[in-house]
Amino acid sequence: MAVKLTDLVNHNKWWKGEGWEKEDPDLKKIRFLLERRMIDISESELTIIRGVRRSGKTVYLKEIIRHLIEKGIDPRSIMYLSCDRMNRSRTKNIVNEFRIQRGGGYLILDEITYMENWNLLLKEIMEQGSFTVIATGSNPVGIKHSAERLPGRGIEGNEYYFDPLSFREFLFAIKQAPEDIIDPSLREAVLSTPDIDHSFPPFSPDIDVLLPFFEEIERLFHHYLLTGGFPNAIVELFLDGKLTTDTYEMMIRMTLGLISKEGRKESIARSIMERLNTIGTTRVDFQAMGKDVEVHHNTVRDYLDLLEDGRILYVLHQWDLAKRRIKHSKGKKVVFQSSLFPIAFNNYIKGGEWHQAQEFLDQNKEWLIEGVVASHVIWTVERPLMMEKHAFAGFHAGKKECDLVLVQGNDRLLGFETKYGKLKKTDYPFPVIYLTKEESDIDAIPVSLFLFGLKKGDWSI
């Protein structure tokens, strides 16, 4: 069945020529663009980008398109499709018609993973050749397990996680904001952002170059925690001076929507999230949590697995020092990938707004920062399929618990302890870096400087 490509112009404004960004339905809504690292697109291969909704994937795709056009790619050989409301048959017809008219090119398939049998569609497209395909998705079950059934389609090495902005990315992004659009209450903090590009791996942090800028960096760390690295929240905070209730509602709808689309009950998800907000990063037993929320412990495990696959949180397992692997049967720790998730859920549960969000952060800062540290460290290492969190990260629970344990080369262990309050050191059977509010020592580093120095890994955008 033939398809009139003119029906697609609304989402493919670049077909009209220069100045298309002003008409693009996604880019024209952007008050200020927060730039991210641009990945290399492998010709005639499949690239998959997976991440939570509202993290900026669609805008990032439009930036990829802009980049391709600037490299000299014919704009009319690039087609974007928003797939979350399309079926496989219609999408296949559009792609086939585009192939007939253009002979191939670049195919951008946004939010493809809620389409039934989307992996089969990608398999067919790649087998027919002629297209370089970039696909995104936020369906945790669909994208994780179906992507694993696409061997030999050019996906190897071309799958990426799309996460909220890291603290480092946050600082570099807001620094580019035009001075006249920044809220007056935050203008001084933004203008004082240090003009320095210094980074280090989590195993060997070197903060000497950053120490003179501690005050400026620490001041902005609090604002990062309030936004959780989500682009919409960052822009709203720095342009309007606060986050609106709509932003918190967006986070809740996104999380509960993920649950309901997988056929789970929102009421159970709410109870689990409320319990997580209560216990923070304290060790949790699935059976005990099941009793608390009045469900079977396997149900708790199922919901947490789903939320982890959806990149809303990480479930950390206890690390077996002798066997150098995780202990599946022991207690777990749960950390959110973004501080905005627990802040939004607190407002949802208690009916709060901006003022309540600030209070919640002030009262729970240490465990929220512990989660931010864990996420940032994991982002530097993890890679889809080949180096996922369970292979290198966990926590230690001996006489004294260590927040995060990371496996280095040759099975060496390094611990990270967040001590944003009072610093008290403990003896562990492995070296530990203490992450403090402002104290610095041979094994103690201000957490804001540590996070500033961490770059995301090659497979995290």
Residue 194 has a CB neighbour count (10 Å cut-off) of 18
Report residue 411's pLDDT band, with 50, 70 and 90 as the boundaries: confident
Mean pLDDT calculated for residue range 290-311:
94
Quote the percentage of the chain above a pLDDT of 70. 95
Surface-to-core class of residue 264, CB atoms within 10 Å of its CB (0-12 exposed, 13-18 middle, 19+ buried): middle
What residues contact residue 204 under an 8 Å CB cut-off, 6+ apart?
Answer: none
Asked whether residue 150 carries a pLDDT value surpassing 90, the answer given is no
Please give the backbone phi and psi of residue 396, each rounded to the nearest 5 degrees, phi first.
-110, 135
Quote the percentage of the chain above a pLDDT of 90. 68
Token pair, residue 220, equals 């902005």
Token pair, residue 272, equals 């689990």
Mean pLDDT calculated for residue range 92-98:
90
Three-state DSSP at 67 gives helix
Please give the backbone phi and psi of residue 356, each rounded to the nearest 5 degrees, phi first.
-70, -30
Mean pLDDT of the chain: 90
404 domain residue, yes or no = no
pLDDT of residue 290: 95
Q: State the virtual CA torsion across 130, 156, 316, 403 in degrees, nearest 10.
A: -110
Number of domains, the chain: 1
Asked whether residue 149 carries a pLDDT value surpassing 70, the answer given is no
pLDDT of residue 113: 85
Asked whether residue 276 carries a pLDDT value surpassing 70, the answer given is yes
What residues contact residue 231 under an 8 Å CB cut-off, 6+ apart?
Answer: 34, 55, 56, 59, 165
316 domain residue, yes or no = no
418 domain residue, yes or no = no
Beta strands in 253-382 (DSSP E): 313-320, 325-336
Mean pLDDT calculated for residue range 450-457:
97
On whether the pTM is more than 0.85, the answer is: yes
Asked whether residue 146 carries a pLDDT value surpassing 60, the answer given is no
Report residue 141's pLDDT band, with 50, 70 and 90 as the boundaries: low
71 domain residue, yes or no = yes
CATH code assigned at 14: 3.40.50.300
Greatest Cα pair distance in the chain: 70
**Which secondary-structure segment (H or E) carries 415?**
strand 413-419
pLDDT of residue 152: 55
**Which secondary-structure segment (H or E) carries 407?**
strand 401-407
Report residue 180's pLDDT band, with 50, 70 and 90 as the boundaries: confident
For residues 416 and 400, what is the distance between their CA atoms, to the nearest angstrom? 13
pLDDT of residue 1: 46
pLDDT in tens, 19-58: 999 999 899 988 888 989 999 998 989 999 998 888 899 9
For residues 249 and 256, what is the distance between their CA atoms, to the nearest angstrom? 10
446 domain residue, yes or no = no
Q: What domain range includes position 54? A: 5-162
R_g over Cα of the chain: 23
Query: ∠274-275-276 over CA atoms, to 5°?
Result: 90
Using CA atoms, how far residue 58 sits from 53, 213, 231, 257, 337, in Å, is 9, 34, 12, 18, 20
pLDDT in tens, 362-383: 999 999 999 999 999 999 999 9
129 domain residue, yes or no = yes
Q: Which parts of 175-296 fold into alpha helices (H)?
A: 184-191, 214-227, 231-240, 245-261, 266-279, 286-293
Asked whether residue 398 carries a pLDDT value surpassing 90, the answer given is no
Report residue 194's pLDDT band, with 50, 70 and 90 as the boundaries: confident
Beta sheet of 401-407, edge-to-edge order: 325-336, 313-320, 393-397, 401-407, 413-419, 432-436, 444-446
Please give the backbone phi and psi of residue 254, each rounded to the nearest 5 degrees, phi first.
-60, -45
**Which secondary-structure segment (H or E) carries 81?**
strand 78-82
For residues 48 and 311, what is the distance between their CA atoms, to the nearest angstrom? 15
34 domain residue, yes or no = yes
Using CA atoms, how far residue 264 sits from 81, 122, 142, 268, 274, in Å, is 28, 27, 15, 8, 17
116 domain residue, yes or no = yes
